[in-house]
Amino acid sequence: MFLRNPLIKENSIEEREYQVALARSCLESSTLVVLPTGMGKTVVALIVIAEILRTKKGKVLFLAPTKPLVEQHAGFVREYLIGKKVVALTGEVEPMVREVAWIENEVIVSTPQVIANDLRRERISLRDVRLIVFDEAHRGVGDYAYVAIGDEYKTYDGLVMGMTASPGSSGARIEEVRANLGIEKVEIRSESDPDVAKYVQDVNMQWVAVDVPDQMRKVVDILRSLNDSYVKELVNLGVMDGKRPPTRKHLLEVRSKIEAKLNAGERRKQLYRALSVQAMAMKIGHALELAETQGTTALTSYLERMRQEAASEDGSKASRTIVRSPEFEKLTSILTGMNMEHPKLSRVMSIVSNQIIAHPSSRILVFTHYRDTCELVASKLAKIDGARVAKLIGQAERGSEKGLKQKEQVSVLEKFRRGEYNVVVATSVGEEGLDVASTDLVVFYEPVPSEIRTIQRRGRTGRRSPGRVIILVTRGTMDEAYLYSSQKKETAMRRRLYRMSERSEEKKAPEEIAEKKPQAAGQKSLLEF
């Protein structure tokens, strides 16, 4: 059975009861839709857009964080929406052209920065906008452009639809998103909900544990000893709690505390020393994590960048102090004579090779947190018979290393869909929103502590057919802490969202709740789909 709406292309999109139910909810009041990656948030948005344009005069604004996402959504809406003009606007479109496009089109798909700038310069108005769709709505915090647009739109009391796979585990953050975007209620569906479960493919999760190599132990011991000395000094200076683990989060709190005292007018030498020691602790802590979870290539590259920073005129005092230390010279001496990589590298090569041998038509996505590791993993996987490998990295340039422009990112993904590449090694740029081809296997080179990023990575497989997710974890390192953290946050997020969703229902009359429940398959929906 297909969706039925005069503005949606006939016999083109399968009608799923949970999508219809979510769309109905979005049409009743401004709603945050939380739905697993690959379960059709954009289809829900299409239904809502079509019904708004069918019943009301005005425009729809569809916002997405990046140019590739804007082009992806604009292409989808153009393909399935009938009789309405759709335009994609990004910073590459001249302001005067954008003004005309805004007037001439009913659906505007855009990056938020463009809309925020045009609103500020009064090139456009949200007065005629009947619906704003915020894709990746969890970004609607702080000074992100979604916030300014949300504030402006509240003046006109229009309808808002937020979409995300993961708004975050913090209740305060979720409430901030709701307040900033003008969202009244939350609708969540998970893979286990009855109306979703029949559309969900099985995803086999595996955790593969490895150990820090014996040869790397000397390096780890030196870095740990140096890190411990910095932490001890911060405790002695009275700016750090010795009873708490010296995590990155804790160290950032220490820096904020020191800066607050300096801004308040304190000028004690101990505070300036503490600021320098905190910077050294951050750098050595990062080096320690690289040594334990990434290997010699990533660590050596990082230490070399630190050496270059120390040698530059505007280099930090922290880098200079570390580079001049005997421990740094000892580290570089050991690493120079070390001819080995982290065991994760051989494991990921084995995993990818076995997948290609067993299933030659596979699509495989490997996520790495660091660009150095991405480069290394891609170069090694390219040596596997049958592996056609591409990198998917961000735009930023780093020294002589070039990033990928957004058009190049889109090109990589398109070639991945067509099968020209069957393995893509990606940094975080591959996590959010982009329509990655149906992927058989996703490999995490390391766990990430963010539940949002974990959910986004995991959601790249199991879309149209069963998939596998393999997470590599180094025993006794931050890998284990990050894995535990993301799992704990995800559980807390789902529990909190379901409670919010239930509270939304409690505010309604019983007959309204009954009317909103998903109907049996084959029944006509309340809206004319």
Question: What DSSP line would sit under 375-428, residue for residue?
Answer: HHHHHHHTTSTT--EEEE--S--BTTB----HHHHHHHHHHHHHTS-SEEEE-G
3-class secondary-structure state, position 328: helix
CA–CA separation, 511 and 462 (whole Å): 37
In the Cβ-directed half-sphere of 318, how many Cα atoms lie within 13 Å? 18
Same domain, 293 and 359: no
Same domain, 357 and 448: yes
Range of the domain at 437: 342-394+406-484
Same domain, 325 and 376: no
CA–CA separation, 463 and 461 (whole Å): 6
pTM, rounded to two decimals: 0.76
Same domain, 222 and 297: yes
Q: Which of 312, 336, 360 is the last residue of a domain?
A: 336
Q: Mean of the pLDDT values across residues 351-380?
A: 95
3-class secondary-structure state, position 228: helix
Tell me if 298 is assigned to some domain: yes
- Residues 478-507 pLDDT 10s: 999 999 999 998 888 888 888 877 655 544
Q: Which of 198, 230, 246 is the last residue of a domain?
A: 198
- Residues 165-210 pLDDT 10s: 888 777 888 899 999 999 999 999 888 888 888 887 778 899 999 9
Q: Mean of the pLDDT values across residues 287-308?
A: 94
Question: What pLDDT score does 167 carry?
Answer: 83
Q: Which two tokens stand for residue 499?
A: 């409670």
Q: Which two tokens stand for residue 158?
A: 């229009």
Same domain, 244 and 329: yes
Residue labelled with tokens 């003046």: 155
Same domain, 104 and 49: yes
Q: Which of 128, 122, 185, 115 is nearest to 158 (CA)?
A: 128
Query: Any idea what the CATH number is for the domain that residue 184 is in?
Result: 3.40.50.300
- Residues 242-284 pLDDT 10s: 999 999 999 999 999 999 999 999 989 999 999 999 999 999 9
Q: Which of 172, 198, 224 is the last residue of a domain?
A: 198
Same domain, 319 and 348: no
Residue 263: how many CB atoms within 10 A of its CB? 8
Say how many domains are in the chain. Answer: 3
What are the backbone dihedrals phi and psi of residue 268, each rounded to the nearest 5 degrees, phi first? -75, 145
Same domain, 100 and 174: yes
The residues with which 210 forms a beta bridge, in sequence order, are: 474
CA-CA-CA-CA torsion sign (154, 160, 164, 169): positive
